[in-house]
Amino acid sequence: MHPGGHAVSHFGATILDAGGMRLSAEEKAFFREADPFGFILFGRNIESPAQVRALCDEMRETVGREAVITIDQEGGRVQRLRPPDWTDWVPPLEEVRRAGAQAPEAMRLRYRIMAAELRALGIDSNCAPLVDVIAPDTHEFLTDRCYGDSPEEVARIGRAVANGLLEGGVLPVMKHIPGHGRATSDSHLDLPFVTAPLEALKARDFAPFAALADLPMAMTAHVVYEGCDDRPATVSARMVGLIREVIGFDGLLMTDDISMKALDGSLPEIARGSLDAGCDVVLLCNAALEDRRAVADAAGRMTPAAQARAETALKARITPGEVDISALTAKLGQLK
């Protein structure tokens, strides 16, 4: 356990992934010891419904509880579950434009159907809604994943997405807080810099996040907001302070994947830096087992405040009632 950590009853301050379709013996032993708050799945973890269910069961067995298992299932380019076993979704922006004035209801239905597909596998979280606001220079890696260029409309649709997921027993993870829309580079590859002053950010970029500040979980943006700080939001105490105080988000704050090229330093340094800045939990993806070990050691256990937020987030996870997916699919088809 990290020497500065807390009582072992607290979750590990990490969300981690697996190398393949099933857990190796080494991964099982590691997860048992590290006790991560949750897990995340990628394409390499997905072959068939039965296999995904078995993998989710194994993950939860290692920590001895119903740990959160999340995934990136936005639709379009970013969807880990694909045909023939799962629905093929158009990009979010295309869905929104097709539905026009009915976009909030169309997106609620879309994510309610998605939630049913996720829950059937044992997945109970989704890294959505994405409420970054499109700007004139938004990088193409993001644009068609967005819901529009009006903060008010983005907030409305984001609320509908979150409601669809929550109704289906799936915890939404709002991203990329405090807003990635003005970034002109892809944070998977480079560190984006945003020059807009704080007042402009508040009026536009922060606004949808503030409107949805009651959601249980959010994911940071690896972006430098030069009008506020010279460090990326994920490792900036100033930016996390703005997320908490100006945006008003008091839910569980997780980092975006700390292995993305936007962040400098070793993985353990970044993990520690993000937690010291005020993030609650570190997301590490696509890393070797020894790197996952090093990050889990550096992150240690959740602080009491983070643990309280984690427990509050978990309470938002309901067991959904019966729903007629074919009826919802037909209704969604009528809105396009």
Active site residues: 188, 256
Q: What b-and-e string marks burial along 161-196, b requiring 16 or more CB atoms within 10 Å of the CB?
A: bbbbbbbbbbbbbbbbbbbbbbbeebbeeebbebeb
Give the tokens for residue 76.
């379009």
**What is the DSSP secondary structure assignment for residue 35, as one 8-state letter?**
-
Q: How far apart are CA 31 and CA 50, in angstroms?
A: 22
Place of tokens 């049913």: 116
The secondary structure of residue 280, as a DSSP letter, is S
Spatial strand order in the sheet of 125-126: 125-126, 171-177, 217-220, 252-254
> Residue type at 75?
G
Q: How far apart are CA 250 and CA 280, in angstroms?
A: 11
Two tokens, residue 260: 């993305």
Nearest-10 crossing angle of helices 267-277, 289-299: 30
Q: State how far Cα 11 lies from the chain centre.
A: 18
Beta strands in the chain (DSSP E): 12-16, 36-41, 68-71, 73-75, 78-79, 125-126, 171-177, 193-194, 217-220, 224-225, 252-254, 282-283
Within 262-303, residue ranges assigned H as helices are 267-277, 289-299
> Structure tokens of 280?
């609650």
Six-digit token string for 172: 């939404």
- Which H or E run includes 106? helix 103-119
